[in-house]
């Protein structure tokens, strides 16, 4: 016989499933295959903040109050980012991938799930220092319109600059980081020169199709919030979007090793989770 705690957890899980279905039916955002632990944690936190008695009560609010839905959308967004996050990743891109990209006449890069844009501007700085930016197009996408607007602005708290500068230096930066932004009051704004080849666009990895044919996809620390089926779906999307010989860059806790996409890639730098799409699939023989 189930105890009271088990029954309560079962009821909460049912409420969560109904809540996510309501969002999908009303707004078209599909969080049903996100990792349950992440969704549950965010919903219980919002329930506490809004002083709701249950997730079902929040479901009513999300259906009839768009402002409340926007809060939920913000809660579900993955906004953990910083300039030159994981500096060794950018150092490896600079040393191992950039020399290959330099052989191309034009380069297209997709930053999927770009959040508030710090890592997009980091890539723009790296490309500028390597003399590649003028022949690069960066597509920076996210499903959250509000966070995408913030990314377009390129304005960040000045309190973050010390950390950003340290990351930049560790990543192999060749100039003074202060060359790339202007400080004003309690904020810094990154130079318009960095923004000229970036297209910020609304794109949902869960519901939208392939975005473009690109030479590199950067999607770091997003897949960890998806269940296995959704991870496979998104990796299939990335594989369709990457040109043969293109690079897939994931987060340090992510991998394609146990995914359906694994057969399409070579591992280039395992600890940084950088993979290269095969020019063609090897024959498995008879």
Strands 187-190 and 181-184 come out as antiparallel
pLDDT at 192 over 90: yes
Which residues in 236-269 are b (16+ Cβ under 10 Å) and which e? ebbbebbeeebbbbbbeebbbeebebeebbeebb
- % helix, strand, coil for the chain, step of 5: 50, 20, 30
pTM for the whole thing? 0.87
Q: Which CATH number fits domain 87-277: 3.30.70.60, 3.40.50.150, 3.60.15.10, 3.40.50.2300?
A: 3.40.50.150
* Helix/strand/coil for 248: strand
* 14 has a pLDDT exceeding 50: yes
User: Measured between alpha carbons, how far is 275 from 262 in angstroms, rounded to an integer?
Assistant: 9
CA distance 264 to 256: 10
Q: Would you say how long the chain is, in residues?
A: 286
Once rounded to an integer, what is the mean pLDDT over residues 1-27? Answer: 80
Closest-CA residue to 213 (of 277, 152, 285): 277
Q: Nearest to residue 112, comparing CAs of 143, 152, 76?
A: 143
Q: Which of 123, 117, 189, 192 shows the shortest CA–CA distance to 147?
A: 117
Chain centre to alpha carbon of residue 170: 22
283 confidence band (pLDDT: 50, 70, 90): very low
Predicted confidence band at 6 (pLDDT cuts at 50, 70, 90)? low
Has residue 285 got a pLDDT over 60? Answer: no
For the stretch 53-91, pLDDT in tens is 999 999 999 999 999 999 998 888 777 789 999 999 999
Question: What would the two tokens of residue 36 be?
Answer: 């349950």
Work out the mean pLDDT of the chain and round it to a whole number.
91
What region, left, alpha or beta, does residue 94 occupy, with left being phi > 0 and alpha being psi -120 to 50 degrees? Answer: alpha
The rounded distance, in Å, linking the Cα atoms of 59 and 256 is 35
Q: Where are the domains of the chain?
A: 4-76, 87-277
Nearest of 164, 166, 153, 98 to residue 128 by alpha carbon: 98
Percent of the chain with pLDDT over 70: 95
Q: Say yes or no to pLDDT of 142 above 90.
A: yes
Cβ-based burial of 52 (10 A; exposed 0-12, middle 13-18, buried ≥19): middle
Q: Are 223 and 249 in contact (CB under 8 A)?
A: no
Helix (H) or strand (E) holding 95: none
């Amino acid at each position: 016989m189930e105890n009271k705690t088990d029954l309560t957890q079962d009821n909460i899980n049912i409420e969560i499933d109904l809540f996510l279905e309501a969002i999908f039916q009303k707004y078209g955002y599909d969080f049903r295959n996100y990792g349950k632990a992440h969704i549950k944690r965010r919903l219980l936190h919002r329930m506490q903040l809004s002083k709701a008695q249950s997730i079902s009560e929040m479901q009513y609010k999300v259906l009839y109050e768009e402002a409340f839905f926007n809060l939920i959308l913000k809660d579900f967004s993955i906004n953990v980012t910083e300039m030159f996050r994981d500096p060794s990743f950018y150092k490896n891109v600079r040393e191992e991938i950039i020399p290959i990209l330099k052989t191309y006449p034009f380069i297209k890069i997709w930053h999927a799930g770009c959040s508030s844009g710090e890592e997009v501007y980091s890539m723009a700085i790296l490309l500028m220092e390597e003399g590649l930016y003028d022949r690069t197009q960066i597509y920076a996408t996210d499903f959250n319109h509000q966070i995408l607007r913030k990314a377009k602005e390129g304005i960040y708290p000045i309190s973050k600059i010390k950390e950003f500068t340290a990351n930049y230096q560790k990543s192999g930066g060749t100039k003074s980081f202060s060359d790339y932004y202007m400080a004003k009051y309690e904020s810094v704004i990154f130079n318009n020169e960095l923004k000229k080849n970036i297209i910020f666009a609304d794109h949902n990895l869960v519901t939208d199709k392939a975005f473009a044919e690109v030479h590199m996809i950067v999607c770091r620390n997003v897949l960890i919030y998806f269940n296995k089926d959704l991870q496979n779906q998104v990796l299939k999307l990335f594989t369709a979007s990457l040109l043969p010989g293109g690079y897939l860059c994931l987060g340090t806790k992510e991998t394609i090793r146990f995914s359906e996409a694994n057969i399409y890639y070579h591992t280039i730098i395992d600890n940084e989770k950088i993979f290269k799409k095969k020019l063609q699939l090897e024959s498995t023989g008879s």
